[in-house]
Structure 1
Amino acid sequence: MTGQTDISNLSIARKQLFAGNFQAAHAAAQQALKDDPQAVEAVLVMAAIAVEHGNGPGAEKLCSIAAQTGHRSCWLAVLEARVALMQQDQERARERALVAFELGTDDPHIANQLGVALSRTGRHAEAVQPFRTAVAGAAGNADYRYNLAVALQFSGDLADAEREFHALVAMQPDHAKGWGALVQLAHEPEPGWDAALSQLFDDSKDVESRLTIGHALARLAEERQDWDTSLKWLDRAKAPKAAEVAHDRSAAEAIADAAIAAGGAGSFADIPSGDERPIFIVGMPRSGTTLVERILTSHPNVRSVGELSDFAILLKQELRTPGQLVLEPALLQAASTAPDLTAVGKAYLQRLSQLAGDTPHFIDKMPFNAFFTPAILRALPGARVICLRRSPFDVLFANYRQLFATGFSYYSYAYDFGDTAHFVAGFERMANAFEASLPPARFLPVRYEEVIADQRGQTERLLAFCGLEWDDACMEFHRNAEPVATASAVQVRSPIYTSSVEKWRRYGEGSERAIDELGKYGIEA
């Protein structure tokens, strides 16, 4: 029986799925399969339910069943990309997301999932189109509009992004993430925003919402140059989240210790040899990594592949250390004692070939790859690593002020001022050790303040380190139209400015707190 009953059950299954009613969706999909065992879309509904419940193996099996029938659709490719992301297989996720993009869809819910898959695999420019389809087909869905606005911001369409954020908070005045993004992006904060957000903060009982709204209120206080009020909002907003994540300082110390030991114990080629395409830009978040990336990618022989976890994931897969975490002491220790890491380097280069294309050099700008620097230099004898250094006081405030993705445990330090200072001090200790132990032809420390003070000289130094000829475009990096998927997406579209240097001194009580906290680790102002 394949008539009206099957069509109705499939329709019900899809409707219930995208409404989040998974039990009803599963029942309708099962009935559709009973009516017609060839109803492939019913299998896709069940695969989507498995994905939503974190059941990667189940979702993978269901997608395979659908594919074996010869079925080919945007939805299947999107589901395959989502499964690959669950499995931390970035290469397959990118490939399936691009297949889905080529196939296209008019369904707003599938289009939104496609946009998310593209964004999570670094294809931010391509993500805009499916997000537009999602908003056009489900105009009342605030989260779809938020996703579109973020994609527009990353792609450099800042005016359109701001309009979308305005539309979002007008449609849903309590959308915390929308407010947080709008306040960061808006050129002119509106007079009523402080009162509205303060009330929203008081009314909300959700830790995540209060965290986001508190960051927005801190930003508004900064706009008024009321620095210590800004810091008080951050303290108030972050405290519940800090209690929830319970950052472990001893674990952070162990990671830094393991990285330092790896830098002192490894055998590294003194000069680049072999495949010299990879350039890694590393450092603390908010230390200038995006600025240096934009300078270098303005050169015609360099392109960025984004902030990738691929190297660390491949290292984990090769060395098979226990547990789910990638940034952890056991992996760093195993990498330092492994007799040969060339298999990791080979797999990395093979995986990056699709993203990098035939460009002479590509940049991988995952800041916390800094901890893997010794392993990178061993696994990729042609690779170069540029490590950004910035005043630890400015880095302390820049990280504490930043609302990082709350789903990543690596940023657990950023919810408490003291924890942030401790983590910054650990990074400083590691970076100092690397400067002393790693070959200067392959590891280049770059001071953010020196780039700001001497853009020409530091750009010449960066290009020479990478083996690149001078190109005037590097001095006009702000004209670079490539997407930027970091917190610096707005700033790096402006020329060099000096207002972020020594910014920490603008705080009154806050600067005293910083001197006290960093002073515990021997770091003086």
Structure 2
Amino acid sequence: MRSGVQPNELEQGLELLQGKSILIHSQEDLSDSIQFFRYIPLLVQLGARVFLEIQPALIPLFYAWRNTISLIATGEPLPSCDYHCPLISLARLFKTEMDMIRRSIPYLFPDMNALKACQKKLGYSSRQRIGIAWKKCSLPLTTLLTLQQANLDFICLQKNIDFEESKELDHYQIAHHSLELSTLTGTAALISCLDLVITIDNSIAHLAAAMGKEVLVLLPFSAEWRWFLHQEDSPWYPNVKLFRQETSEDWNAPLVRIKNALMILPSIEHQIVTKNLMNEAHLQFQNGVFFKAEQIYRSILIKNPESHHASQGIALAALQQNNMADAIQFMQQAVEIAPKTALYRRNLGELLRRVRQLRAAIASHSMAISLEPTSAENHFLLALAYHDNRQFELAIQHYRIALSFDQNYGLAWNNLGASLASTGDKHQAKTAYAAAIRLNPHHAEAQNNLGAIYSEEGQIDAARTHFEAAIAANPDFIEAHYNLSLIKKYTASDTHLMTLDALAQKINHCSVPTRIHYYFALGKALDDCQQYARAFKAYAEGNRLHYLQKPWNKTQIHDIVENLPTVFSQSFLKQPTQTNETRCPIFIVGMPRAGTTLIEQILSSHKQIYGAGELSILDDLIQEACLASRTPFNTWVTQLTDDELAKLGEKYLDQTWTLAPDKQFIIDKMPSNCFYIGMIYRMFPTAKIIHAIRDPMDSCFSCFTHLFKTSMLFAYDLGALGEYYALYSQAMQHWQSVLPSNVIFDLPYEQMIAQHEALSKQLLDYIGLPWDQNCLNFYKNDRVVRTASLIQVRQPIYKSSVQRWQHFAEELQPLLQMVAPYRHKKGISA
């Protein structure tokens, strides 16, 4: 290491490199520099800014990495960096073991101008081109030339040759391209034009291997450490085969093995026939004749079972014909034939993601990244799988890595926004969506997604602008039409209603999710225009399609409710966990669409209360605990100790209070927590539980007219809604009978509408907080609202939602019969 450069050790862990700079000093030996360069992309993945001091001759070969790392020729001034490290030491710092050596091939690439010049100079040959390199003192040229065969063209890769060797090359008509071999740039271009390289252990072996060329390396009896012992392949390069001397100075045995390998190389004629068939298959595929393309690919595979190109072709053709089973089977076969081809790993991962085999998809994409760590697409697709698996932080990490390799990757900016939004980071999500739009103002998905955030924030004009931009970019983008419908109040002459009517001619050719969005949008528009019969037909069709796709299974909730009297008896509930906890959760429970969002918006206008929306935290913790104990909920609850209850409660509070650490009160308005009130009371004896009550016909019908973001599968069928309401009512009746009367605050929606100020004051008294005038102006609260009520809570109290179901009374008679007993108990006769 040059004087004046003070190294800093990284023994404490490579995570220290995040956001830091590191100067890597290459080795004097070209082979070492090429071999260990593979670790440089890993430093970039760790978030480091990398400076690589490298031999000047190698810089053109590393030019493809110029946007990722800073290259410095040996002898030039060195920058001041946070950390310094010799290149060869990276193997130790990354704790490399033999089965985890990075084998990302290729990672060196020829200069394109030099390659074109070399291709032009060599011209066409019907024979295989084999590059050769030797060492006179250990493996002389004459010995290597015993490998010559009639179907092979040998090309010299030896830079320096003596007079005798020159004569021998001329005798055997072996080309020596001295001009190209005078530089590494020219040598790399020449190697790119070859079919195979046969060489001793030298820099040519490493250069060709790092470029992805198939290499046969002749090793002496006592080989260098890097080739290990007794192996015929190399853990460093998957495209290298090793041929070792069995005894010192005896090359006969390894040369015989190489000669046998050369004899079975496919002829150029066979390759041409296969190539013609492959070209025909590609042409059929491009023309959309997928069945014919698949037939040709299969015929190639029969003649050549090791053709990974044909296997992938079958997989892609099967995908286009919606045959996912064959698509996955043959892409897996391509991976097995060519396990070090990142493209196949990537494609397999995406196929697995589409059939929701997310763990397998993540594993496949991770392997693709290990093979091509600087591929933006590899990181993008892994992020997509992580997002689908709800591992949003990991998705964000890999979207950002993809963007570090390609800042103009618009789809990555858009999807980064979606993952950020899923974590609640709306500000950063908007920034990501805006970046996608700057790259392409006609990016319909990004426009729609940005509009959705503005809608949640109550910035309705901005939301409308982006939804309309999305529709202008893609007039058939139904999700944008749906989102626009949620923030509009339609009249009969509204041009967007006419647009929705016109889309009816195309909608039956769309996917089921698209058709669902369409019918809910159309229903909303017709409902606004008081065309109630047509509106109900649209709502009913949207719900029918959704319920056919995902029917509700009531078993779990039914079992919980039926066993409440046994599990959550009065004696069990008399033993709440003792706590000195100052953090106080507020739970708003009840039927969906019963006013839970309105209550949260009013309360969160108070300066000491934070509205977190519908949190799945409690249900997630309970489901995880039941899964870990391998017992159903009712059994698990009875086996809980006070200590386990306390720890569960602490986990809930810790996770919830990350959202607003400075608040004493946080609202969790997940309506289905009504089935966990006994657990809530035992864990948090001081928690506030507000029960949102509404006419069952209004709450059930309001559910029926909304497309929920969360899983409320009962909401898409009137019969299921009636059954769910009965189970909810049964649960609430039990809690009211076994808990002290001051534990649950019942809040009827209709009374809240009629007596807003008085009931708001009662609510704050129940919580134990002083009156805050902001609670009267709740519609000015600028917090994010993520539920179907996002527009209603941006307006002052209005009464049009009361008895709304009456407009659809004829169609709702089956539901009315199911909930009539509960309406009677509430004293509702209309």
Give the TM-score category using the shorter length.
0.7 to 0.9
Corresponding residue of 2:727: 426
**Per-residue CA distance 1:126-165 (angstroms, 9 max, x = gap):** 4222111122223333222221111111122111101111
Is residue 598–residue 793 contact of structure 2 (8 Å, CA) maintained in 1?
A: yes
Q: Give the Cα–Cα distance (whole angstroms) in 2 for the partners of residues 299 and 128 of structure 1.
A: 27
Q: CA deviation at 1:308?
A: 1.7
**Residue 489 (structure 1) aligned with residue 796 (structure 2):** no
Q: CA deviation at 1:225?
A: 1.4
Q: Give the Cα–Cα distance (whole angstroms) in 2 for the partners of residues 171 and 187 of structure 1.
A: 23
Corresponding residue of 2:762: 461
Q: CA deviation at 1:364?
A: 1.8
**Residue 289 (structure 1) aligned with residue 591 (structure 2):** no
Is residue 674–residue 731 contact of structure 2 (8 Å, CA) maintained in 1?
A: no
CA gap of 1:239–1:80, structure 2 versus 1, over 3 A, is closer
Counterparts of residues 39-438 of structure 1 (less than 5 Å) = 52=353, 55-56=358-359, 59=362, 83=386, 86=389, 107-188=409-490, 191-205=494-508, 206-258=511-563, 262-264=567-569, 266-267=572-573, 268-269=575-576, 274-320=581-627, 330-331=632-633, 333-340=635-642, 341-405=645-709, 410-438=711-739
Which one-letter code corresponds to 2:621 in the other structure?
Answer: L
Q: Which runs of 5+ in 1 are unaligned?
A: 12-28, 324-328
Q: CA deviation at 1:429?
A: 2.2
- What SS class does the counterpart of residue 659 from structure 2 fall into? helix
CA gap of 1:462–1:82, structure 2 versus 1, over 3 A, is farther
Is residue 696–residue 823 contact of structure 2 (8 Å, CA) maintained in 1?
A: no
CA RMSD for the aligned pairs? 4.2
Which one-letter code corresponds to 1:208 in the other structure?
Answer: P
Which one-letter code corresponds to 1:339 in the other structure?
Answer: T
Q: CA deviation at 1:78?
A: 12
Which one-letter code corresponds to 2:589 in the other structure?
Answer: V
Q: CA deviation at 1:462?
A: 1.3
**Per-residue CA distance 1:5-33 (angstroms, 9 max, x = gap):** 8849999xxxxxxxxxxxxxxxxx86459
Is residue 588–residue 669 contact of structure 2 (8 Å, CA) maintained in 1?
A: yes
Q: Give the Cα–Cα distance (whole angstroms) in 2 for the partners of residues 113 and 7 of structure 1.
A: 26
CA gap of 1:456–1:305, structure 2 versus 1, over 3 A, is same
Bigger mean CA deviation after superposition, 425-434 or 187-196: 187-196
- What SS class does the counterpart of residue 586 from structure 2 fall into? strand
Q: Give the Cα–Cα distance (whole angstroms) in 2 for the partners of residues 379 and 99 of structure 1.
A: 39
Structure having the higher helix fraction is: 1
- What SS class does the counterpart of residue 811 from structure 2 fall into? helix
CA gap of 1:253–1:497, structure 2 versus 1, over 3 A, is same
Q: Give the Cα–Cα distance (whole angstroms) in 2 for the partners of residues 98 and 471 of structure 1.
A: 43
- What SS class does the counterpart of residue 745 from structure 2 fall into? strand
Q: Give the Cα–Cα distance (whole angstroms) in 2 for the partners of residues 343 and 76 of structure 1.
A: 37
Bigger mean CA deviation after superposition, 268-277 or 342-351: 268-277
CA gap of 1:84–1:142, structure 2 versus 1, over 3 A, is closer
CA gap of 1:389–1:112, structure 2 versus 1, over 3 A, is same
Q: Give the Cα–Cα distance (whole angstroms) in 1 for the partners of residues 524 and 566 of structure 2.
A: 39
CA gap of 1:468–1:185, structure 2 versus 1, over 3 A, is same
Q: Give the Cα–Cα distance (whole angstroms) in 1 for the partners of residues 441 and 384 of structure 2.
A: 25
What is the TM-score with the length of structure 1 in the denominator? 0.80
Corresponding residue of 2:286: none
CA gap of 1:61–1:299, structure 2 versus 1, over 3 A, is farther
Which one-letter code corresponds to 2:695 in the other structure?
Answer: S
Is residue 270–residue 441 contact of structure 1 (8 Å, CA) maintained in 2?
A: no
Q: Give the Cα–Cα distance (whole angstroms) in 1 for the partners of residues 348 and 677 of structure 2.
A: 38
Corresponding residue of 2:203: none
- What SS class does the counterpart of residue 594 from structure 2 fall into? coil
Q: CA deviation at 1:61?
A: 10
Q: Give the Cα–Cα distance (whole angstroms) in 2 for the partners of residues 85 and 65 of structure 1.
A: 18
Which one-letter code corresponds to 2:800 in the other structure?
Answer: S
Count the aligned residue pairs: 488
Q: CA deviation at 1:259?
A: 5.3
Q: CA deviation at 1:512?
A: 3.2
Q: CA deviation at 1:435?
A: 2.3
CA gap of 1:202–1:242, structure 2 versus 1, over 3 A, is farther
Which one-letter code corresponds to 2:531 in the other structure?
Answer: D
Q: Give the Cα–Cα distance (whole angstroms) in 2 for the partners of residues 275 and 98 of structure 1.
A: 39
Q: Give the Cα–Cα distance (whole angstroms) in 2 for the partners of residues 115 and 467 of structure 1.
A: 39
Which one-letter code corresponds to 1:234 in the other structure?
Answer: Y
Which one-letter code corresponds to 2:418 in the other structure?
Answer: V
Q: Give the Cα–Cα distance (whole angstroms) in 2 for the partners of residues 277 and 79 of structure 1.
A: 39
CA gap of 1:30–1:83, structure 2 versus 1, over 3 A, is farther
- What SS class does the counterpart of residue 356 from structure 1 fall into? coil
Q: Give the Cα–Cα distance (whole angstroms) in 2 for the partners of residues 442 and 187 of structure 1.
A: 40
Is residue 435–residue 445 contact of structure 1 (8 Å, CA) maintained in 2?
A: no
Q: CA deviation at 1:393?
A: 0.7
Corresponding residue of 2:318: none
**Residue 451 (structure 1) aligned with residue 770 (structure 2):** no
CA gap of 1:7–1:361, structure 2 versus 1, over 3 A, is same
Q: CA deviation at 1:477?
A: 0.7
Q: Give the Cα–Cα distance (whole angstroms) in 2 for the partners of residues 521 and 447 of structure 1.
A: 14
Corresponding residue of 1:15: none
Q: CA deviation at 1:504?
A: 1.4
Is residue 274–residue 381 contact of structure 1 (8 Å, CA) maintained in 2?
A: no
**Per-residue CA distance 1:273-329 (angstroms, 9 max, x = gap):** 633421122222211111111111111111123322112212222332689xxxxx9
CA gap of 1:35–1:499, structure 2 versus 1, over 3 A, is farther
Bigger mean CA deviation after superposition, 466-475 or 361-370: 361-370
- What SS class does the counterpart of residue 234 from structure 1 fall into? helix
